[in-house]
Structure 1
Amino acid sequence: MFFVLALFSLGICCAVLCVVVKRSVQHEHSDDPNFLSFQRVYLAGPHVYALYESYWMTKHQIELLFIAGFGSSLLFGTFIGSIADKFGRKTNCLLYALLYGVSCVTKHFADFNVLLFGRLMGGIATSILFSAFESWLVFEHRRRALSDQSLKQIFANATFANSLIAILAGIVAQTAANAFGFVAPFDCALVVLTLMALVMTFTWCENYGDERAHLPQSFLDAVDTIRKDRRILFLGLVQSLFEGSMYVFVLEWTPALSRASETGTIPHGYIFASFMISVMMGSAIFNLLSQYSRPESFMRFVFFAAALLMGAPVLFPSSPAVIFVAFALFEVCVGIFWPAMGFLRSQYIPEKTRSTTMNFFRVPLNLLVIVILWNNFQLDTIFKFCVSFLLLATLMQHSIARLTSSPADGSELPFDVLEEMEKLCAERGEVGEKTDAERVDSAEESAERRVG
């Protein structure tokens, strides 16, 4: 009963918060229909663990399958990012649809090796999902010379919509699983992937990083970018530490709440829906916060709050209500994190190596998750690790805030760099031999000269 009341209470709070945000935040709109269209893509696939269990996989085999997915993302992520920058972000997004589609097909086979291959394909696809789509979005946003505020709103709206669709997808997946078995949700995902690929093929234009760079050179350029700019280095560490804690949380919230429950059973559906509503609330709060403060600044407090909340299972191991409330508030922090981090990446990562650099950020993230999965740590130890990761993220974010606290540090320019880029794009006919990335870099270099 408690979880049902919590779900409805969170729903009411979320609705009220959305009304407040709608009245308080001045939304900017684009008249470009192609720009509006790329706010509408989402895909989710549930029931993985249950499917593996239905194939009589042992707990160790299931753990190996999950490790294979994270390991695949770790090994191939940066390479895939370089492909996106050189051969096109749209092409890489289509590759995501193909690879994840193959992963869905393998779920029909109760064979460990086939499922392992599917997890490897899914891991590579995940690297694309978390880099190429955002890189394409940021470039198109800049090419259309739209404002930074509208980009913040897009990231916030995407987080809100993803959470809402995750709830709906969960309902569809459960209905399909009840009617046709655990593999049915993956068939539904395959249909959505096909539709997504068709939409991208006929409505998206292509954009690139540095088309002329060889793949090893893109890799080295990304390393050099991270080495030379401490803001990017700290940003990558912050992302890895927070997302590492978040993925561990996704794996461990069920045993944490089950241990605290007197019966040992919990209503997973209600709890998952509550968490998604909390993420929606976080995206709305981001819209409010960004009106009055920079993400570089207020994210310090978000990370510190997340660290305190993640300590609840350690401090109150036998109180399901306290743990649930702490986890729900942590998900609010997650809802603030996604749009904030997307916006910060758009500000500091160079266009020509954007996808490659973003996938570099996922290397330590995947390492953290693999180490925790591989070692059979006690539940309290796992959450202590998460608290430590989040406190480190707080310190890193504080460093970013200090580095970008004044225009002299390059955080804010006294004129609009996008205006320079728009002028350069208008000269496309005269300088057709230049790549899109070169025009972006030229605009940024011109901006730096004017600041100097």
Structure 2
Amino acid sequence: MEGYYWIQFGLIAIVCAMLEMQKMGTREKVTMPQNFMAFRNSYLFVYSLMMAGDWLQGPYVYALYQHYGYTTGDIGKLFIAGFGSSMIFGTVVGSMADKYGRKNAALTYVVTYIASCITKHWSDYGVLMLGRFFGGIATSLLFTAFESWLVAEHFKRGYEAEWLDKTFAKAIFLGNGLVSIVSGLLANYLVTDMSLGPVAPFDAAAIFLAIGGVVIMFSWTENKGDNSENTSVQQGMKQAYEAIKNDKKVFYLGAMQSLFEASMYSFVFLWTPALGPNGEDIPHGMIFATMMVACMVGSSVASRIMSRSDMKVERYMQLVFLASAASLAVPVLVGNMGFMTEGERGGSMTFGGKIQMLAFLVFEAMVGIFWPSMMKMRSQYVPEEVRSTVMNFFRIPLNLFVCVILYNVALFPLSAMFAMCSIFLVLAAFLQKKLETLANVQSHKYVPMEQTFP
């Protein structure tokens, strides 16, 4: 019965999202040229397919490893291998994307992720470990190559800068919201209703990735970093390092991204034990769908905020980080007030769990605002010639932190983990304030004398 209500909820959410997208699209067609709309819709179609390939796998990775009989420790090592692969190889593939082309990098993402999906058909630990390495490389490309291609292609075609903000918001609305819900429902249907086993979602993911790869191959043009022809991969990595070292805005931006995403990925592992610390029977499917709807709401809010000229992204993101910190501090307060011990195994979610659930929905809404807003700031501050490389440099501390968390997750209480995430987010707000101050100083630095007086 729970599964029925989960599917019903998901379908309602999908219908609401489609209506919202249709309403937003109708308003924009009045002011945006048709060629831009075609370009954006083509990108959003591909991006949605790529995200579907990622979301279909998420709910059943852990379950598949359990199905093959591996212990929690063995599974933890597999996850560490994925994040470690992203950390070690991500910067290299990012630099190669800048030199050899973002379209080629996108196709590499398709190939490596399909290879990762194929390895799931074997229960051999070594083969599964190889799949995690492929998956780590693919993840680095997913969150860098596509955005880099979009930004370069957008400006190469001469489109207005503010239109890029709307593309970012729609990409998150679709890819991290609507597509995630549809993918979760499809994965559940394949495994539960069709009884195809936990490997079925990975096969479906490979199909979506292959379709997207064909579209990329025949419809995308190639773009590279500005100096890519005369720059080796090693030189590109050095240029990216110099850009981060010499430009405080880029450094602050990267630090904020690492702090927020480290908290976000830690949250992915922490929310289940937080809502059911005593083995309570919590509706995982309903909770996941609800969180994704909250993320969609956040991305829709971001679209409206970024369209206002009086709302600077550098300013409102300070509030986003602080609200995120406050929401992840709620489990700390709940634990200290004794709500964590009131439940029982097999029982329903406790009152403390429901309070945390509301806080987690706020956090997911902030995630929905964070992604398009961070994309906007990266398009403004990160150098075009080494964009993919710089973005992957940002992911090194993120992946390192998540690896450490996974390796030591049993050593710390949940409240300590959430407190650490909350501190990270407060620090991100502080860095955002410094970025705003620096950006304001530099924007007024070269104002002509005659413009400073009436």
1:46-61 paired onto structure 2 within 5 Å:
46=58, 47-61=60-74
Alignment partner, residue 395 of structure 2: 362
1:164 aligns with 2:197: no
Q: Which moved more, 1:286-295 or 1:192-201?
A: 286-295
Contact 1:34 1:204 in 2 (8 A): no
Instruction: Check 1:16–1:144 CA distance in 2 against 1; reply closer, same or farther (3 A cut).
Output: closer
Match of 1:286 among 270, 285, 302: 302
Alignment partner, residue 247 of structure 1: 265
Instruction: Check 1:191–1:22 CA distance in 2 against 1; reply closer, same or farther (3 A cut).
Output: closer
The whole-number CA distance in structure 1 between the counterparts of 2:73 and 2:103 is 37
1:329 aligns with 2:362: yes
Instruction: Check 1:15–1:181 CA distance in 2 against 1; reply closer, same or farther (3 A cut).
Output: closer
Match of 1:121 among 134, 153, 176: 134
CA deviation after TM superposition for structure 1 residue 339, in Å? 0.2
What is the one-letter code of the residue matched to 1:79? V
Contact 1:407 1:413 in 2 (8 A): no
The whole-number CA distance in structure 2 between the counterparts of 1:413 and 1:224 is 27
Contact 1:67 1:373 in 2 (8 A): yes
The whole-number CA distance in structure 1 between the counterparts of 2:230 and 2:162 is 32
Contact 1:21 1:288 in 2 (8 A): no
1:174 aligns with 2:188: yes
1:419-430 paired onto structure 2 within 5 Å:
none
The whole-number CA distance in structure 2 between the counterparts of 1:403 and 1:21 is 38
Instruction: Check 1:125–1:294 CA distance in 2 against 1; reply closer, same or farther (3 A cut).
Output: same
What is the one-letter code of the residue matched to 1:115? L
Alignment partner, residue 211 of structure 1: 229
Match of 1:98 among 111, 116, 135: 111
Alignment partner, residue 234 of structure 1: 252
Alignment partner, residue 144 of structure 2: 131
Root-mean-square deviation (Å): 2.8
The whole-number CA distance in structure 2 between the counterparts of 1:224 and 1:299 is 26
Contact 2:96 2:233 in 1 (8 A): yes
- What secondary structure, in the 3-state scheme, does the structure 2 residue paired with 1:309 have? helix
Alignment partner, residue 84 of structure 2: 71
The whole-number CA distance in structure 2 between the counterparts of 1:64 and 1:123 is 13
What is the total number of aligned residue pairs between the two structures? 410
Cα deviation digits, residues 395-448 of structure 1 (max 9, x gap): 1111111111256368x999xxxxxxxxxxxxxxxxxxxxxxxxxxxxxxxxxx
Contact 1:92 1:132 in 2 (8 A): yes
1:288-437 paired onto structure 2 within 5 Å:
288-290=304-306, 291=308, 292-317=310-335, 318=339, 319-375=352-408, 376=410, 377-405=412-440, 408=443
CA deviation after TM superposition for structure 1 residue 211, in Å? 2.5
- What secondary structure, in the 3-state scheme, does the structure 2 residue paired with 1:38 have? helix
Q: TM-score, normalization: structure 1?
A: 0.85
Match of 2:34 among 13, 31, 35: 31
Contact 1:231 1:403 in 2 (8 A): yes
Q: Which moved more, 1:374-383 or 1:299-308?
A: 374-383
Identity within the alignment, %: 43
Q: Which sections of structure 2, spanning at least 5 residues, go unmatched?
A: 340-351, 449-454
1:223 aligns with 2:241: yes
Instruction: Check 1:409–1:124 CA distance in 2 against 1; reply closer, same or farther (3 A cut).
Output: farther
CA deviation after TM superposition for structure 1 residue 131, in Å? 0.5
Q: TM-score, normalization: structure 2?
A: 0.85
Instruction: Check 1:94–1:24 CA distance in 2 against 1; reply closer, same or farther (3 A cut).
Output: closer
- What secondary structure, in the 3-state scheme, does the structure 1 residue paired with 2:34 have? coil
CA deviation after TM superposition for structure 1 residue 19, in Å? 8.9
Match of 1:272 among 282, 288, 305: 288
Q: Which sections of structure 1, spanning at least 5 residues, go unmatched?
A: 415-452
